[in-house]
Amino acid sequence: MSDIASNLAEISRRIAAAARTAGRDPAEIMLVAVSKTHDDAAIRPALEAGQRIFGENRVQEAAAKWPGLKAAFPGIRLHLIGPLQTNKVREAVALFDVVETVDRPKLARALAEESRRTGRRPACLIQVNTGREPQKAGIDPDQADALIALARDTYDLDVRGVMCIPPADEDPTPHFRLLAGIAARNRLPVVSMGMSGDFEQAIADGATHVRVGSAIFGSRG
């Protein structure tokens, strides 16, 4: 077994264990394998091991890497997990199945226009800046309900849930719980939170999707 396949197996085992500890069904937790900065040679072993959900943070990089892999391996679902500029919306809608980073009205409107134009309607998550960090993407937690309503009801986007990246230097649990609460009160099923260092805690706090990169593919140099 390749290192990447054995890392994947180990992460899956830890996800299942964390789910059981939390009294949850392991099948409720989706693993998004974050392949940003890694090339074809790293991604193929993950595909061969059966992984089909991947996260990328840059539209351009994903557009160079994924069309060939999508043709070779059926059933791939690509998640955009990095910031999306409105001038990249066309390319993003063509390539991604899930846009996890909808964080402002202008972007929601651009996605709606592109969906209307193409008939392609990616699932969307609303990114929430739970730590209110000025340099970080995401809607302020106090404005999350309004953006969810706008995206879902006014723009008719396929809003499935919420996503966050907690501040790097804090206990993530209050952030995870804040995000899970926003999902619950808006009756949204998807809660995307938790990375290599904290996905087990995220599962304890209600994650349905964990985004794991370096623990699968190794460090990003």
Closest to 183 measured CA to CA, from 151, 213, 161: 161
Nearest position to ligand PLP, beta carbon: 213
195 binds ligand PLP (CB under 6 A): yes
Q: Is 43 in the site for ligand PLP (CB under 6 A)?
A: no
Give least dist CB 220 to ligand PLP, A: 7
Single out the residue of 33, 43, 81, 107 in contact with ligand PLP (rule: CB under 6 A): 81
For residue 55, which of 10, 11, 96 has the smallest C-alpha distance? 96
> Is position 34 an interface residue for ligand PLP (rule: CB under 6 A)?
yes
7 binding ligand PLP? (CB under 6 A): no
What is d(CA 51, CA 45) in angstroms, rounded to the nearest whole number?
9
Rounded (10°) angle between helices 3-21 and 40-48: 60
Distance between CA 143 and CA 6 in Å, rounded? 41
Binding residues for ligand PLP, how many (CB under 6 A)? 14
> Which one, 61 or 113, has the nearer CB to ligand PLP?
61
Q: Which of 164, 165, 190, 191 binds ligand PLP (CB under 6 A)?
A: 165
Yes or no: say if 103 and 126 are a contact pair by the CB < 8 Å rule: yes
Q: What is the DSSP string of 38-102?
A: --HHHHHHHHHTT--EEEES-HHHHHHHHHHHHHHSTT-EEEE-S---GGGHHHHHHH-SEEEEE
Q: CA-CA distance, 3 to 9, in Å (whole number)? A: 10
Shortest approach of ligand PLP to residue 33 CB, angstroms? 9
For residues 149 and 151, what is the distance between their CA atoms, to the nearest angstrom?
6
Interface with ligand PLP includes 152 (CB under 6 A)? Answer: no
**Measured between alpha carbons, how far is 60 from 147 in angstroms, rounded to an integer?**
26
Q: How far is the CB of 197 from ligand PLP (least distance, A)?
A: 6
By beta-carbon proximity to ligand PLP, the closer residue of 189 and 197 is 197
Looking at the Cβ atoms of 159 and 165, the one nearer to ligand PLP is 165
214 binds ligand PLP (CB under 6 A): yes
Q: Which is nearer to ligand PLP, 152 or 211 (CB)?
A: 211
* 160 in contact with ligand PLP (CB under 6 A): no
Task: Catalog residues that contact ligand PLP under the rule CB under 6 A.
Answer: 34, 36, 57, 81-82, 165, 195-197, 211-215
